[in-house]
Amino acid sequence: MPRFKVAVLSLGYESYETEREILSDVDAELILAQADCLTEEEVIASGYDADAIMVREAPVTAHVLDSLPRCRAVVRYGVGVDNIDLERASEKRIYVANVPGYGNEEVSDHAAALLLACIRTLPARERALRQGRFETDISEQIYRTSGKTLGLVGYGAIGRVFLRKWRGFDPGRVLVCDPALSVENAAADGLELTDQKTLLSQSDYVSLHLPLTEATRGIIDEAALRSMKPTAILINTARGGIVDEAALARALEKGWILAAGLDVFDREPLPPDSPLLGVDNLILTGHVGWYSKDSVRELQTRAAREVIRVLTGSVPEHWVNPW
Protein backbone atom coordinates (compact mmCIF):
# COMPACT_ATOMS: atom_id res chain seq x y z
CA MET A 1 0.00 0.00 0.00
CA PRO A 2 1.37 3.44 -0.92
CA ARG A 3 1.86 5.89 1.91
CA PHE A 4 -0.06 8.73 0.21
CA LYS A 5 -2.59 9.15 -2.58
CA VAL A 6 -2.59 12.21 -4.85
CA ALA A 7 -5.46 12.82 -7.30
CA VAL A 8 -5.09 14.85 -10.50
CA LEU A 9 -8.43 16.36 -11.49
CA SER A 10 -9.51 17.86 -14.84
CA LEU A 11 -6.79 16.37 -17.01
CA GLY A 12 -5.28 18.04 -20.03
CA TYR A 13 -1.56 17.46 -20.26
CA GLU A 14 0.09 15.01 -22.62
CA SER A 15 1.59 12.93 -19.82
CA TYR A 16 1.73 12.83 -16.03
CA GLU A 17 4.95 10.84 -15.75
CA THR A 18 6.72 13.92 -14.39
CA GLU A 19 4.43 14.05 -11.35
CA ARG A 20 4.42 10.29 -10.96
CA GLU A 21 8.21 10.16 -10.83
CA ILE A 22 8.54 13.05 -8.37
CA LEU A 23 5.80 11.81 -6.03
CA SER A 24 7.23 8.31 -5.97
CA ASP A 25 10.07 9.69 -3.83
CA VAL A 26 7.64 9.93 -0.89
CA ASP A 27 5.74 6.75 -1.76
CA ALA A 28 2.75 8.68 -3.13
CA GLU A 29 0.45 7.05 -5.67
CA LEU A 30 -0.76 9.30 -8.48
CA ILE A 31 -4.42 8.82 -9.46
CA LEU A 32 -5.77 10.39 -12.66
CA ALA A 33 -9.47 11.28 -12.60
CA GLN A 34 -11.62 9.49 -15.13
CA ALA A 35 -14.00 12.45 -15.63
CA ASP A 36 -13.30 16.11 -16.43
CA CYS A 37 -14.31 17.05 -12.86
CA LEU A 38 -16.30 20.12 -13.84
CA THR A 39 -18.88 19.62 -11.09
CA GLU A 40 -18.62 19.38 -7.32
CA GLU A 41 -19.84 15.79 -7.38
CA GLU A 42 -17.15 14.74 -9.86
CA VAL A 43 -14.44 16.42 -7.82
CA ILE A 44 -15.61 14.71 -4.62
CA ALA A 45 -15.86 11.30 -6.29
CA SER A 46 -12.39 11.55 -7.81
CA GLY A 47 -10.64 13.05 -4.81
CA TYR A 48 -12.52 11.53 -1.90
CA ASP A 49 -9.69 9.46 -0.41
CA ALA A 50 -6.78 11.61 -1.66
CA ASP A 51 -4.23 13.22 0.65
CA ALA A 52 -3.78 16.00 -1.93
CA ILE A 53 -5.49 17.08 -5.11
CA MET A 54 -4.01 18.84 -8.13
CA VAL A 55 -6.44 20.94 -10.16
CA ARG A 56 -6.84 23.29 -13.08
CA GLU A 57 -10.42 24.58 -13.48
CA ALA A 58 -12.15 22.02 -11.25
CA PRO A 59 -14.46 23.70 -8.68
CA VAL A 60 -13.00 23.30 -5.20
CA THR A 61 -15.84 24.84 -3.22
CA ALA A 62 -16.58 24.80 0.50
CA HIS A 63 -18.84 21.79 -0.08
CA VAL A 64 -16.04 19.98 -1.90
CA LEU A 65 -13.50 20.73 0.82
CA ASP A 66 -15.95 19.55 3.50
CA SER A 67 -16.33 16.29 1.59
CA LEU A 68 -12.64 15.38 1.24
CA PRO A 69 -11.77 13.90 4.66
CA ARG A 70 -8.09 13.21 3.98
CA CYS A 71 -7.17 16.21 1.85
CA ARG A 72 -4.22 18.22 3.17
CA ALA A 73 -3.32 20.20 0.05
CA VAL A 74 -4.88 21.67 -3.09
CA VAL A 75 -2.32 22.62 -5.72
CA ARG A 76 -3.42 24.71 -8.67
CA TYR A 77 -1.74 24.05 -12.02
CA GLY A 78 -1.22 27.72 -12.80
CA VAL A 79 -1.65 31.06 -11.07
CA GLY A 80 -5.34 31.89 -10.58
CA VAL A 81 -7.10 30.32 -7.60
CA ASP A 82 -10.57 31.82 -8.01
CA ASN A 83 -12.00 28.29 -8.42
CA ILE A 84 -10.87 27.40 -4.88
CA ASP A 85 -12.62 28.51 -1.67
CA LEU A 86 -9.57 29.85 0.12
CA GLU A 87 -11.44 30.84 3.27
CA ARG A 88 -12.88 27.38 3.84
CA ALA A 89 -9.52 25.79 3.01
CA SER A 90 -7.88 27.94 5.69
CA GLU A 91 -10.58 27.04 8.21
CA LYS A 92 -9.89 23.37 7.56
CA ARG A 93 -6.11 23.86 7.56
CA ILE A 94 -5.85 22.67 3.97
CA TYR A 95 -2.88 24.21 2.19
CA VAL A 96 -3.58 25.87 -1.16
CA ALA A 97 -0.62 26.51 -3.44
CA ASN A 98 -0.21 27.78 -6.99
CA VAL A 99 2.64 27.93 -9.52
CA PRO A 100 3.39 31.52 -10.48
CA GLY A 101 5.91 32.46 -13.12
CA TYR A 102 6.09 29.18 -15.02
CA GLY A 103 4.97 30.80 -18.30
CA ASN A 104 6.49 34.28 -18.05
CA GLU A 105 8.78 33.75 -21.03
CA GLU A 106 6.03 32.20 -23.14
CA VAL A 107 3.34 34.79 -22.40
CA SER A 108 5.73 37.67 -23.02
CA ASP A 109 6.83 36.01 -26.27
CA HIS A 110 3.19 35.67 -27.28
CA ALA A 111 2.43 39.30 -26.50
CA ALA A 112 5.39 40.40 -28.60
CA ALA A 113 4.36 38.03 -31.41
CA LEU A 114 0.80 39.37 -31.44
CA LEU A 115 2.03 42.94 -31.46
CA LEU A 116 4.47 42.33 -34.31
CA ALA A 117 1.82 40.46 -36.30
CA CYS A 118 -0.59 43.37 -35.86
CA ILE A 119 2.06 45.96 -36.74
CA ARG A 120 3.09 44.08 -39.88
CA THR A 121 -0.52 43.06 -40.77
CA LEU A 122 0.70 39.49 -41.18
CA PRO A 123 -2.70 37.73 -41.36
CA ALA A 124 -3.85 40.02 -44.18
CA ARG A 125 -0.55 39.64 -46.04
CA GLU A 126 -0.66 35.85 -45.72
CA ARG A 127 -4.29 35.71 -46.95
CA ALA A 128 -3.50 37.92 -49.91
CA LEU A 129 -0.63 35.72 -51.02
CA ARG A 130 -2.72 32.56 -50.74
CA GLN A 131 -5.37 34.27 -52.88
CA GLY A 132 -2.82 34.90 -55.63
CA ARG A 133 -1.89 38.52 -54.87
CA PHE A 134 1.88 38.96 -54.65
CA GLU A 135 2.02 42.41 -53.09
CA THR A 136 5.23 44.31 -53.65
CA ASP A 137 3.38 47.59 -53.11
CA ILE A 138 0.60 47.99 -50.53
CA SER A 139 -1.21 50.92 -48.98
CA GLU A 140 -1.91 49.45 -45.54
CA GLN A 141 -1.28 51.46 -42.40
CA ILE A 142 1.98 49.80 -41.42
CA TYR A 143 4.33 51.67 -39.13
CA ARG A 144 7.75 50.86 -37.77
CA THR A 145 8.46 49.63 -34.25
CA SER A 146 11.41 51.88 -33.43
CA GLY A 147 10.75 55.31 -32.03
CA LYS A 148 7.18 54.53 -31.06
CA THR A 149 5.67 54.93 -27.61
CA LEU A 150 4.97 51.68 -25.78
CA GLY A 151 2.39 51.66 -22.99
CA LEU A 152 2.37 48.94 -20.33
CA VAL A 153 -0.78 48.69 -18.24
CA GLY A 154 0.55 46.64 -15.35
CA TYR A 155 4.21 46.05 -14.62
CA GLY A 156 4.42 42.70 -12.88
CA ALA A 157 6.68 39.81 -13.75
CA ILE A 158 5.35 39.25 -17.29
CA GLY A 159 5.27 42.96 -18.07
CA ARG A 160 8.92 43.23 -17.06
CA VAL A 161 9.94 40.27 -19.22
CA PHE A 162 7.96 41.66 -22.15
CA LEU A 163 9.72 45.02 -21.83
CA ARG A 164 13.13 43.32 -21.71
CA LYS A 165 12.35 41.79 -25.08
CA TRP A 166 10.63 44.80 -26.65
CA ARG A 167 13.56 47.09 -25.85
CA GLY A 168 15.28 45.35 -28.75
CA PHE A 169 12.83 47.17 -31.04
CA ASP A 170 14.08 50.53 -29.73
CA PRO A 171 10.89 52.20 -28.47
CA GLY A 172 11.03 55.98 -28.24
CA ARG A 173 9.25 56.13 -24.87
CA VAL A 174 7.89 53.57 -22.45
CA LEU A 175 4.90 54.62 -20.37
CA VAL A 176 3.70 52.47 -17.49
CA CYS A 177 0.60 52.52 -15.33
CA ASP A 178 0.80 50.43 -12.15
CA PRO A 179 -0.33 51.53 -8.66
CA ALA A 180 2.30 49.29 -7.04
CA LEU A 181 5.18 51.02 -8.86
CA SER A 182 6.94 54.09 -7.46
CA VAL A 183 8.19 56.98 -9.56
CA GLU A 184 11.74 56.22 -8.44
CA ASN A 185 11.58 52.53 -9.41
CA ALA A 186 9.97 53.39 -12.73
CA ALA A 187 12.70 55.91 -13.50
CA ALA A 188 15.36 53.36 -12.55
CA ASP A 189 13.94 51.06 -15.26
CA GLY A 190 13.79 53.88 -17.79
CA LEU A 191 10.00 54.19 -17.61
CA GLU A 192 7.62 57.10 -17.34
CA LEU A 193 5.07 56.38 -14.62
CA THR A 194 1.70 57.87 -15.49
CA ASP A 195 -2.04 57.35 -15.16
CA GLN A 196 -4.08 55.10 -17.43
CA LYS A 197 -5.79 57.99 -19.26
CA THR A 198 -2.47 59.57 -20.23
CA LEU A 199 -0.94 56.24 -21.18
CA LEU A 200 -3.80 55.30 -23.48
CA SER A 201 -3.93 58.68 -25.19
CA GLN A 202 -0.18 58.88 -25.86
CA SER A 203 0.84 55.29 -26.61
CA ASP A 204 1.23 53.81 -30.07
CA TYR A 205 1.29 50.25 -28.76
CA VAL A 206 -0.48 49.17 -25.54
CA SER A 207 0.10 45.82 -23.87
CA LEU A 208 -1.97 44.70 -20.88
CA HIS A 209 -0.19 42.87 -18.05
CA LEU A 210 -2.42 43.03 -14.98
CA PRO A 211 -4.60 40.64 -12.99
CA LEU A 212 -8.38 40.49 -13.25
CA THR A 213 -9.92 41.97 -10.10
CA GLU A 214 -13.06 43.93 -9.32
CA ALA A 215 -11.00 47.06 -9.84
CA THR A 216 -9.60 46.01 -13.24
CA ARG A 217 -12.68 44.35 -14.76
CA GLY A 218 -13.72 46.22 -17.89
CA ILE A 219 -11.20 49.06 -17.52
CA ILE A 220 -10.59 49.00 -21.27
CA ASP A 221 -14.10 50.15 -22.10
CA GLU A 222 -15.55 52.37 -24.81
CA ALA A 223 -14.30 55.57 -23.20
CA ALA A 224 -10.79 54.13 -22.86
CA LEU A 225 -10.75 52.94 -26.48
CA ARG A 226 -12.04 56.27 -27.78
CA SER A 227 -9.18 58.00 -25.96
CA MET A 228 -6.53 56.04 -27.87
CA LYS A 229 -4.82 57.06 -31.09
CA PRO A 230 -6.49 55.91 -34.33
CA THR A 231 -3.14 54.30 -35.20
CA ALA A 232 -2.81 52.53 -31.83
CA ILE A 233 -2.63 48.76 -31.33
CA LEU A 234 -3.92 46.98 -28.21
CA ILE A 235 -2.58 43.61 -26.99
CA ASN A 236 -4.12 41.49 -24.21
CA THR A 237 -2.44 38.33 -22.97
CA ALA A 238 -3.48 38.95 -19.34
CA ARG A 239 -7.14 38.25 -18.54
CA GLY A 240 -10.14 38.55 -20.85
CA GLY A 241 -12.43 40.42 -18.47
CA ILE A 242 -10.13 43.44 -18.46
CA VAL A 243 -11.40 44.41 -21.92
CA ASP A 244 -15.01 45.19 -22.86
CA GLU A 245 -15.12 42.94 -25.91
CA ALA A 246 -18.20 44.49 -27.51
CA ALA A 247 -16.62 47.94 -27.19
CA LEU A 248 -13.38 46.64 -28.69
CA ALA A 249 -15.22 45.18 -31.68
CA ARG A 250 -16.85 48.59 -32.28
CA ALA A 251 -13.53 50.38 -31.83
CA LEU A 252 -11.88 48.24 -34.50
CA GLU A 253 -14.80 48.41 -36.93
CA LYS A 254 -15.16 52.19 -36.58
CA GLY A 255 -11.43 52.94 -36.63
CA TRP A 256 -11.06 54.29 -33.11
CA ILE A 257 -7.89 52.18 -32.99
CA LEU A 258 -5.93 50.47 -35.75
CA ALA A 259 -5.71 46.84 -34.60
CA ALA A 260 -5.67 44.47 -31.65
CA GLY A 261 -4.40 41.05 -30.63
CA LEU A 262 -6.10 38.92 -27.97
CA ASP A 263 -5.17 35.60 -26.40
CA VAL A 264 -7.68 35.77 -23.53
CA PHE A 265 -11.42 36.33 -23.39
CA ASP A 266 -14.17 37.06 -20.91
CA ARG A 267 -15.77 33.71 -21.75
CA GLU A 268 -13.62 30.76 -22.70
CA PRO A 269 -13.91 28.98 -25.05
CA LEU A 270 -14.83 32.02 -27.12
CA PRO A 271 -18.56 31.67 -27.94
CA PRO A 272 -19.49 31.40 -31.63
CA ASP A 273 -21.68 34.51 -31.37
CA SER A 274 -18.83 36.71 -30.07
CA PRO A 275 -18.69 40.07 -31.87
CA LEU A 276 -14.92 39.66 -32.04
CA LEU A 277 -15.13 36.87 -34.63
CA GLY A 278 -16.41 39.17 -37.35
CA VAL A 279 -13.62 41.76 -37.04
CA ASP A 280 -10.81 41.72 -39.63
CA ASN A 281 -8.17 43.92 -37.96
CA LEU A 282 -8.02 41.65 -34.94
CA ILE A 283 -5.77 38.64 -34.29
CA LEU A 284 -7.23 35.98 -31.99
CA THR A 285 -5.54 33.01 -30.33
CA GLY A 286 -7.18 30.64 -27.86
CA HIS A 287 -5.41 31.25 -24.53
CA VAL A 288 -2.26 29.48 -25.68
CA GLY A 289 0.25 32.17 -24.73
CA TRP A 290 1.42 30.21 -21.69
CA TYR A 291 2.24 27.05 -23.61
CA SER A 292 5.51 25.46 -24.57
CA LYS A 293 6.90 22.00 -23.89
CA ASP A 294 9.28 23.65 -21.45
CA SER A 295 6.63 25.62 -19.54
CA VAL A 296 4.42 22.53 -19.14
CA ARG A 297 7.27 20.51 -17.71
CA GLU A 298 8.16 23.31 -15.31
CA LEU A 299 4.51 23.66 -14.27
CA GLN A 300 4.08 19.96 -13.60
CA THR A 301 7.40 19.68 -11.79
CA ARG A 302 6.79 22.62 -9.48
CA ALA A 303 3.20 21.58 -8.76
CA ALA A 304 4.32 18.08 -7.73
CA ARG A 305 7.03 19.50 -5.49
CA GLU A 306 4.45 21.66 -3.70
CA VAL A 307 2.47 18.51 -2.93
CA ILE A 308 5.58 16.85 -1.55
CA ARG A 309 6.30 19.82 0.72
CA VAL A 310 2.91 19.47 2.37
CA LEU A 311 2.95 15.68 2.60
CA THR A 312 6.36 15.77 4.28
CA GLY A 313 5.37 18.37 6.87
CA SER A 314 6.53 21.62 5.28
CA VAL A 315 4.57 24.58 3.96
CA PRO A 316 4.27 25.24 0.22
CA GLU A 317 6.74 27.59 -1.41
CA HIS A 318 3.80 29.49 -2.93
CA TRP A 319 1.20 29.26 -0.17
CA VAL A 320 -1.82 31.39 -1.08
CA ASN A 321 -4.07 30.91 1.99
CA PRO A 322 -1.76 31.37 4.99
CA TRP A 323 -3.33 31.16 8.42
Q: Is the pLDDT of residue 136 over 90?
A: no
Mean pLDDT computed over 234-243: 97
Q: Determine the pLDDT at residue 259.
A: 98
Spans of all domains in the chain: 4-102+293-311, 104-284
> Rounded to whole angstroms, how far apart are CA atoms 269 and 182?
37
Strands 4-8 vs 149-153: parallel, antiparallel or unpaired = unpaired
Q: Is the pLDDT of residue 303 over 90?
A: yes
pLDDT tens digits, one per residue of 56-115: 999 999 999 999 999 999 999 999 898 999 999 999 999 999 999 999 999 999 999 999
Mean pLDDT computed over 211-236: 97
Question: Where does the pLDDT of residue 1 fall: very low under 50, low under 70, confident under 90, or very high at 90 and above?
Answer: confident
- Asked whether this chain's domains 4-102+293-311 and 104-284 adopt the same fold, the reply is yes
Which residue among 239, 302, 305, 318 is the active-site one? Answer: 239
Q: Is the pLDDT of residue 52 over 90?
A: yes
> Rounded to whole angstroms, how far apart are CA atoms 145 and 204?
9
Mean pLDDT computed over 249-257: 98
Q: Give the neighbor-by-neighbor strand order of the sheet with 192-193.
A: 192-193, 173-177, 149-153, 205-208, 233-236, 259-262, 282-284
> Rounded to whole angstroms, how far apart are CA atoms 59 and 85?
9
- What lies within 8 Å, CB to CB, of 214 at 6+ separation is none
> Rounded to whole angstroms, how far apart are CA atoms 1 and 75?
23
Compute how many other C-beta atoms are within 10 angstroms of the C-beta atom of residue 132: 6
Q: Determine the pLDDT at residue 34.
A: 87
Burial string for 285-318 (b: 16+ CB within 10 Å, else e) reads eebebbeeeebbebbbebbbbbbbbbbeeeebeb
Mean pLDDT computed over 231-245: 97
Contact 171, 149 (CB under 8 A): yes
268 is catalytic: yes
Provide CATH code, domain 104-284: 3.40.50.720
Q: Which of 236, 241, 220 is nearest to 80 (CA)?
A: 241
Mean pLDDT computed over 289-312: 98
**Mean pLDDT value across the chain:** 97
Given CATH 3.30.565.10, say whether it is the number of domain 4-102+293-311. no
